Structure 1
Amino acid sequence: MTYAAVAMQMTARSVAPGATRDTQRESMLRHLTDVTGQIRGATAFITQYGGAPVRLAVLPEYLFTSYPIRTGISAFAEVAAWDMRGPEYDALGKAAQDLNLFLAGNAYERDPHFPGLYFQTSFIVAPSGEIVLRYRRINSMFAPTPHDVWSKYLDIYGLDGVFPVARTEIGNLAAIASEEILYPEIARAHALRGAEIFVHSSSEIGGPRRTHKMIAKQARAFENLAYVVSANTAGIDGYASADGNSMVVDWKGQVLAEAGAGETYTAFADIDLDGLRTARRKPGMTNYLARQRTEVFAAAYAAATVHPAGSLLDGDIARVPDRAHFIETQESIISRLAKEGLI
């Protein structure tokens, strides 16, 4: 099976000063209408260009809100975070149906089990309009994550809800959020659950020289024998950074297509699903996934604690932190590791 995937490089829009939940929702839904039109134009061009039918489109990180730079966690959750069954997802479902493709993206999301918090969530919506994958970012510097409420999160969602893989007609899909591409454990955990294609929504500094994230995208691809479809922002409104270098990487780590700066859909390429599966099932030195000796590393990880789990839990209650909590937690971790002679 061969089809085309496109990384839509688009400008993220920030939450307007003084926005209310109603005005912000109206703004996001209007933006989604614009995004749908851009994807429609991109898929028409790619098909006319002679490519395979587009079955997967990936949107950049926090496209509809940017990141909450000066807003408290509860305030941002109230104004801008999506509800798990909210109208934003309804609109995305309608867009995926109209476009007849899988639509992947990233947004901040509220969860009724954890009032006052939000999680940065990567999602995939099927052509049926159904949400087939919801992945919450594990590694984040200034935002709550499932690991911060770990025991309660596992009780509710289980490990399958932490590392979900959507088994679809275009392959087994999993999501990696933003800088998590730098953490090989995230991709490997998904790959060990069958993931073949990683959708990566990002907002990062691009440029002509290879950045850490660019290098990591290629590494995550070849070490897991998986495709990476990475969509970067084309800047954030009001800012000049976080632009360029959206790309599609194949399971050999080869960059098949890469965008320059600005809004563009030039990062598109064919996904050869049969070729990937053949490579995964062939014995040899380059079958890095099949050569894993997981028990060895499981023991080493089990013996080490770096970032503590459940830092936002008081018993079964998740507390809402201020942003200083995250720096203070990291400072205490660094101090402890230094005392233990580990850094």
Structure 2
Amino acid sequence: MRVALCQFNMAWEDWRSNLRRAEQWVARADADLVILPEMFATGFVTDPERVAQPMSGEIVGEMQRWARRYGRAVAGSVIIEEGGRFFNRFLFVYPAGEIVQSDKRHLFSIGGEGKSFVAGDRRTIVEYGGLRFLLLVCYDLRFPVWSRCRNDYDAVIYVASWPESRRTVWRTLLRARAIENEAYVLGVNRTGSDPTAHYSGDSAAVGFRGETLTEAGAEETLLTVDLDPEALHAFREKFPAWRDADRFELHV
């Protein structure tokens, strides 16, 4: 299965311009699944009233249109308003337009995200192309319990607006999550700048042994990677560390 990681800059709070740019990346991608960064339509906005849309809005509608037009799944996070509440919502759109959603669990309170957004309360795993994907957003990467694989997923996707000042943490934790979970890890970050931060990109696909399969620098780019479920399953059978994992329950 081929996945495309789209790393690009975005215009601050200009969702129309960002949708035009995002479609160009989706159209260019020769892949079964195209992944866009966190809040790709607006930039990382912590005052969502100005830019939030409902699930019936144009941003979500455009994602569905891209998926149908180009015949590939499209994933990324957007700011959603529901009943006066705001969510940083990861959307996975199948080629037929069906949507699976997952709200960001760990809100970045240090940057003010926790003041205006509602945290998610469940992990979401989608099946596509013979693989099971866990859908997570940015700051979730720092919390290994929420990311823990209990033999229930094959790859984890982190879409992010992760600043350059903490790029070593980003690069290190992507590989740690791959190694400890014996899973593919796909990290899609933005590049460029907004009013509060500069972003160095460093989007990457990491193999289930922790090896770098492909990695970007700070430039806008489209990375593609082939994921092999048979190789993954063979490795898990050969080195089944997951069988010895601690049992636990999540309380949210």
Which TM-score band applies after superposition, normalised by the shorter structure? 0.7 to 0.9
* Among candidates 3, 6, 15, match of residue 5 of structure 1: 3
Amino acid at match of 1:293: D
Root-mean-square deviation (CA, aligned residues, Å) is: 2.4
Give the greater-gyration-radius structure (CA): 1
Q: What whole-Å deviation, never above 9, does each CA across 1:86-123 have from its counterpart, x for those lacking one?
A: 221111011012222111101111122xx2x2111111
* Among candidates 71, 95, 99, match of residue 70 of structure 2: 99
Question: Relative to total residues, which structure has the larger strand share, 1 or 2?
Answer: 2
Residue in 1 that maps onto 2:231: 275
Residue in 2 that maps onto 1:292: 245
Counterpart check, 1:129 vs 2:97: yes
Inter-partner Cα distance in structure 1 for 2:241 and 2:52: 39
TM-score, with normalisation over the residues of structure 2?
0.87
| Pair 1:169–1:41, CA change in 2 (3 A) | closer
Amino acid at match of 2:154: E
Instruction: Name the count of aligned residue pairs.
Output: 247
Identity rate, percent:
21
Inter-partner Cα distance in structure 2 for 1:123 and 1:288: 31
| Pair 1:193–1:252, CA change in 2 (3 A) | closer
| Pair 1:193–1:138, CA change in 2 (3 A) | farther
* Among candidates 22, 25, 28, match of residue 35 of structure 1: 22
| Pair 1:193–1:104, CA change in 2 (3 A) | farther
| Pair 1:195–1:111, CA change in 2 (3 A) | farther
Counterpart check, 1:245 vs 2:202: yes
Residue in 2 that maps onto 1:330: none
Amino acid at match of 1:65: T
Amino acid at match of 2:217: G
| Pair 1:273–1:182, CA change in 2 (3 A) | same
Inter-partner Cα distance in structure 2 for 1:184 and 1:258: 22
| Pair 1:14–1:170, CA change in 2 (3 A) | farther
Residue in 2 that maps onto 1:67: 44
Is contact 1:55-1:170 (8 Å) kept? Answer: no
Gaps of 5+ in 1: 16-26, 44-53, 148-152, 154-158, 303-308, 310-343
Inter-partner Cα distance in structure 2 for 1:237 and 1:92: 23
Inter-partner Cα distance in structure 1 for 2:96 and 2:20: 18
| Pair 1:204–1:210, CA change in 2 (3 A) | closer
| Pair 1:29–1:194, CA change in 2 (3 A) | farther
